[in-house]
Amino acid sequence: MNAAKHEFQPEEVMAFLDGELSPERATALSQHLKDCKECSEVAAGFKNIGQKLSTWMIEPLPAQVETRMTSERIAIEAKIVPRPAVSPSRPRPLFLKWGFGAVGGIIFFFLVLTVLTPNLLRSRMAANESSAVGSLRTLTTAAATYQSTYGHYPLSLRNFGPPENGVPSAVAADLVDANLAGGQKSGYSFFYRRIPMLGSSGREGYTIKADPLNPGSTGVRQFTTDQTGIIRAEPGGILSESFQELKPNENGQSAQSPQFAPMVARTAELTLVVSNLKNAREMMEQILRKQQGYIGQLSLSREGGSTATLSATLRVPADHVDGCLAELKKLGKIADESQAGQEVTRQHADLVARLQNAHNTETRLNNVIGKHAGSVKEILEVEKESSRVRGEIEGMEAEQKSLEHRVDFATIELRISEEYKAQFNNSSPSASTRIHNSLVTGYKNAAETLLGFVLFLAESGPTLLIWLVILLVPAWLLVRRFRRAAAAT
């Protein structure tokens, strides 16, 4: 049957015979069957197939196969032991089924919540803090871009945000997203403060602070930064290096950043055992005078009949530390020795850069104060900022001196013990004293134990009571049900 020659497909003919076509389509196909011989033959073939299928029957199994299956079924039924008759029990009430399921679900929910909540909270706070540091870096870069484009730092965070008309300007420079420009992002609030003009030809400054919205929930640490690019954490210290302020050379090109020689703070620990502690101490002092060192701390202890021990912290010039250690080792037997070095080059370089920037800032502030430019309010703000910068300079100078002193003078932790010599005198307490001490100690231990038990009940008693109610009520219902079932049987 050619589909291009006939307008009806074989499938429609089959559907017509099954009575599944619509009335309009069935009427058209019926008329077509009267006129088309080929389609009539197809319909007759379909009818013949349907009649054969309706008269088809499954052939019976052979007698041999049926006999074998019957014998195997009888053998299997013979092996099955009939279950003893069970007395009908009362069906479980529906509310008990739902009650047990609800109690189990509540217990499982609280257990999962107890285990997962602290870890999820810590992960969330760590992610928020990392996001806050990244946002501060973004704002620092945006501030540098804004200043180089418009010649000054913005008045507020919103000046960093996207513009309403789509055209960047000093009001909305389109440097950060709208959330960060609004002052809140990833559980932290950001506060921006612009520092007044530092002199007629100087540059402005700014400070940005990031505080957690809910301390202990969205974050723990606070972060701050300024125009130097240094990000500080409280607690935690400096997290990133500052921007290097490079001055142009005579050719108008930027000078290279200063190179710093490696700075290493050396430390050593030495433990000696000597026969005479007094002589060893005198020799130690002579060695220190020879090596141009000094004693930072010294302590001498002797408890009961034990040996005497001298502990000292020695500060020796870094270029004399090897010779000093060699001479100290000759005082007695070496029981323990260790040396270490901590490189502080990067820390010192960062401190020097911060200090230089702070001095430049102070100079520009003092120029503004000396010229008396601006209103009284602006001058007072500049003086206040100058005082704050001076305090930071003094703190950084003290830190720099301490760091350089650690590098110039190595630290030697020396411990000298005298060889043990047995004593003839018996200094142990009497029997009555030991009994008295034991009674006092026992009374204190008993009082502490009783007090600890009372404190435990006061602190954990309500929680334990709640869990007892949650667990004992279902257990009591189960025991009661089992007892009734046992009595019924």
190: nearest Cα among 232, 150, 133: 133
SS3 131: helix
Six-digit token pair at 288?
């220190």
Question: For 176, how many CA atoms within 13 A lie in the half-sphere containing its CB?
Answer: 30
Amino acid 216 reads G
Residue 72: phi and psi, rounded to 5, are -70, -35
Six-digit token pair at 17?
């015979």
Question: How do residues 193-229 score in pLDDT, each as one tens digit?
Answer: 887 654 443 456 788 999 998 888 888 888 998 888 8
Domain boundaries along the sequence of the chain: 10-55, 125-238, 261-422, 451-489
Question: Rounded to whole angstroms, how far apart are CA atoms 132 and 222?
Answer: 9
Q: What is the pTM of this model?
A: 0.36
Listing DSSP states for 446-479 in one string gives HHHHHHHHHHHHHHHHHHHHHHHHHHHHHHHHHH
Q: Pairing mode, if any, of strands 264-274 and 409-418?
A: parallel
DSSP label at 415? Answer: E
**How many residues can be counted in the chain?**
489
Per the DSSP assignment, residues forming a β-bridge with 343 are 264
190: nearest Cα among 220, 154, 158: 158
Question: Rounded to whole angstroms, how far apart are CA atoms 484 and 474?
Answer: 16
Mean pLDDT value across residues 294-301: 88
Residue 188 burial by Cβ neighbours in a 10 Å radius (0-12, 13-18, 19+):
buried
Other C-beta atoms within 10 Å of 278: how many? 11
Question: In terms of pLDDT, which residue wins out, 139 or 428?
Answer: 139
Question: Rounded to whole angstroms, how far apart are CA atoms 2 and 398?
Answer: 103
Asked which of 168-182, 224-238, 402-416, 422-436 is least confident by mean pLDDT, the reply is 422-436
Going by pLDDT thresholds of 50, 70 and 90, the confidence category of residue 258 is very low
Contact between 21 and 33 under an 8 Å Cβ cutoff? The reply is no
Question: Rounded to whole angstroms, how far apart are CA atoms 99 and 377?
Answer: 72
Asked if pLDDT for residue 483 goes beyond 80, the answer is yes
Residue 249, pLDDT score: 43
SS3 175: coil
Question: How do residues 323-362 score in pLDDT, each as one tens digit?
Answer: 899 999 888 898 888 988 888 888 888 888 888 888 888 8
Listing DSSP states for 255-282 in one string gives PPPPP----EEEEEEEEEEES-HHHHHH
Nearest 10 degrees: Cα torsion 450, 451, 453, 458? 150
Question: For 202, how many CA atoms within 13 A lie in the half-sphere containing its CB?
Answer: 18
Asked if pLDDT for residue 287 goes beyond 60, the answer is yes
Question: For 195, how many CA atoms within 13 A lie in the half-sphere containing its CB?
Answer: 24
